[in-house]
Amino acid sequence: MMRQFGITFSQVGQLAGLDRGLARRALLPEEVHRVSHGSVVRARASAEQLLRTFGWRGNSQRLWSEYDEPLKSPAEDEQHAA
């Protein structure tokens, strides 16, 4: 989504008060588990703010739920199904 709007990890990091590498790890599904929850929240809030600045009008819950779906463990899927 960020690519579609021309938003970089550097921009997200600057707005979130994180360095570029940490912002990148906080927003990449394969790296997010290596980052503190606080940094993930700051990076996501900043990414969403930038997306809105560039015209995105989507639903933030949907954006992040689609992002988080691949990160769920099989046990979490079973919990939600029950």
Task: Report CA dihedral (61, 63, 68, 74) to the nearest 10 degrees.
Answer: 70
**pLDDT at res. 58:** 87
pLDDT tens digits, 25-58? 999 988 988 999 999 999 999 999 999 999 999 8
Is the overall model pTM greater than 0.95, yes or no?
no
Question: Hey, what are 4's tokens?
Answer: 């579609």
Q: State the distance between the two ends of the chain, measured CA to CA, in whole angstroms.
A: 32
